[in-house]
Amino acid sequence: MRELILAMSMSLDGFVAGPEGEAQWVFNGDQEAIAWKVEKLRNVSLHIMGSRVFRDMAAFWPTSTAVFAPPMNQIPKAVFSKQGAAVLKAAATTEGLRDAQAGDPQAGQLQPGAESWAQAYVASGDLAHEVAKLKAKGGKPIIAHGGAAFGRSLIAQNLVDEYVLMVYPIALGKGLPIFSDLPAPRPLKLVRSKAFPLGTVAQIYRPL
């Protein structure tokens, strides 16, 4: 059975983004932290995410040459959406992707594995049931990317086996939390911690 890892970037005061989704603070250029995150991504068998994050990622990663692009494009995806297969069509018709598919010389080239976004599994049923089906398959872990509402739902229903929280040296004061829907306090065990040169700390927790 595969485990589910929730990977999120977080401010010191517990927000994964500002009130309007602002998250520029995660792009601090720490190359050691980036390499660590890329290695984490390479060691999973499935990316899962909510529909809004899926649309954003499906518009960006297929033509990206960033270091995260190979594992993001080449590893299978699942998107959680009540829209059904329509979410795949919406993701495949973004302007940048259309230009790349049409051979527009001003557009970026499609990268290996780009087609996997249009082939994503669409999970439109009950969240716990869909996660259980995905976990039941063997292989490397599943990694969940969010957004905040999707992360909150996974946490509230106790579906996460490991939390990988990249805590950045910034306090936002207000923003989007992921632990706000807990039905009761939930103790976690810190199993690993790693500090990076520019002050970000990776905190890895598991449920007790």
| Residues 47, 56 contacting (CB under 8 angstroms) | no
* Element spanning 147, H or E: none
Per-residue pLDDT band for 104 (boundaries 50, 70, 90) equals low
Q: What is the pLDDT of residue 109?
A: 87
How far is it, in rounded angstroms, from Cα 13 to Cα 83?
34
* Element spanning 35, H or E: helix 31-42
How far is it, in rounded angstroms, from Cα 208 to Cα 201?
21
How far is it, in rounded angstroms, from Cα 86 to Cα 46?
21
> Does the structure show a pLDDT above 80 at 92?
no
- Which residues lie across from 4 on neighbouring strands? 142
- List the domains of the chain with CATH numbers: 4-18+32-182 (3.40.430.10)
Q: What is the pLDDT of residue 207?
A: 96
Sign of the CA dihedral running 68, 25, 32, 204: negative
Nearest to 160 by CA among 169, 170, 150, 172: 150
Q: What is the pLDDT of residue 180?
A: 96
How far is it, in rounded angstroms, from Cα 110 to Cα 105?
12
> Does the structure show a pLDDT above 60 at 96?
no
Phi and psi at residue 59, in whole multiples of 5°?
Answer: -85, -20
Q: What is the pLDDT of residue 197?
A: 97
Helix axes 127-136 and 148-156, enclosed angle (nearest 10): 80
Q: Which tens digits make up the pLDDT trace of 156-185?
A: 999 999 999 999 999 999 999 999 999 999
How far is it, in rounded angstroms, from Cα 192 to Cα 170?
21
How far is it, in rounded angstroms, from Cα 12 to Cα 95?
36
Instruction: Write down the pTM of the prediction.
Output: 0.91
